[in-house]
A and B are shown apart, each in its own frame.
Chain A
């Protein structure tokens, strides 16, 4: 993982941590991660979210409004390990 990918993953997990147990819609998550990450491209966000999902750092739930995400224990641990 390069620095940019690390930054995006970190911002995704930090956003979800702030939701404090509530599920975040993918599009809302993207809006805020874009605000917190300079010049974020949609594909970079998608890759970051896929990375978080593949590493089982987030829990995703499909709904009629779109996929929703929540940070799980592994995601919380990842943030702690990285002192974030």
Chain B
């Protein structure tokens, strides 16, 4: 049998007070306790002031347990999931599932904290975004260095081939040339990053 709702509970009384934009006093008080982390004493006073309803900290404790716990966790989970999606869908960020899971967990912790620091979450997002960009820049630099190395190597090889044509038939020069070639090639390959 379904449990009968107590129409005199603070939740029922607040639900009957309509506010602007389709909200009611119930939503307002739930936000005070879950999002703004207002103390029970302050909430008792504010409910009396704004909605002319009397209540107690005991009643609000029940209200919190029944209506705020699930709401607060769902809100934190949704926010964490949104943050994860942002990184998942960003083509510049190629994070592994483990990293995405860590991002989601950290976002959940920040959203859930009493002293929730959204700025910290934003700066975390920026750092992660910056690190992805840095990785891309590093990769581009590596490719540029490879291209430069190939170009340098090929022009040195052309020069050495021309020199080889000139000294053909002279064994002493050829021996010296082989030493020079080995030393130059070793030096070019040694400068690679």
Contacts and interface: CB of A to CB of B under 8 A. Distances in A.
Nearest to B106: A65
A20 B77 CA distance: 8
B81 to A, nearest CB: 10
A30 B193 CA distance: 52
B33 A25 contact: no
Contact of A22 (B37, B64, B65, B105): B105
Given A28-B114, A35-B64, A20 B109 contact: no
A32 B76 CA distance: 13
A18 B69 contact: yes
A35 B58 CA distance: 10
B80 interface: yes
Interface string B58-75: 100100110011101110
B87 interface: no
A36 B80 contact: no
A67 interface: no
Contact of A38 (B58, B68, B77, B105): B58
A36 B58 contact: no
Contacts of A31: 37, 114
Interface residues of B, number: 24
Contacts of A25: 109, 112-113
Given A31-B114, A35-B61, A35-B64, A22 B108 contact: yes
Nearest to B40: A35
Interface in A7-26: 11, 14-15, 18-20, 22-25
Contacts of A38: 57-58, 61
Interface in A39-66: 65
A22 B80 contact: yes
A44 to B, nearest CB: 15
A73 to B, nearest CB: 19
A65 B105 CA distance: 12
Contacts of B109: 23, 25, 28, 65
A36 B61 contact: yes
Interface of A: 11, 14-15, 18-20, 22-25, 28, 31-32, 35-38, 65
Interface of B: 33, 37, 40, 57-58, 61, 64-65, 68-70, 72-74, 76-77, 80, 104-105, 108-109, 112-114
Which 3 interchain pairs have the tightest Cβ spacing? Answer: A18-B73, A36-B65, A22-B108
Given A35-B40, A36-B61, 7 more contacts: A11-B65, A20-B77, A24-B112, A28-B114, A32-B72, A35-B33, A36-B65
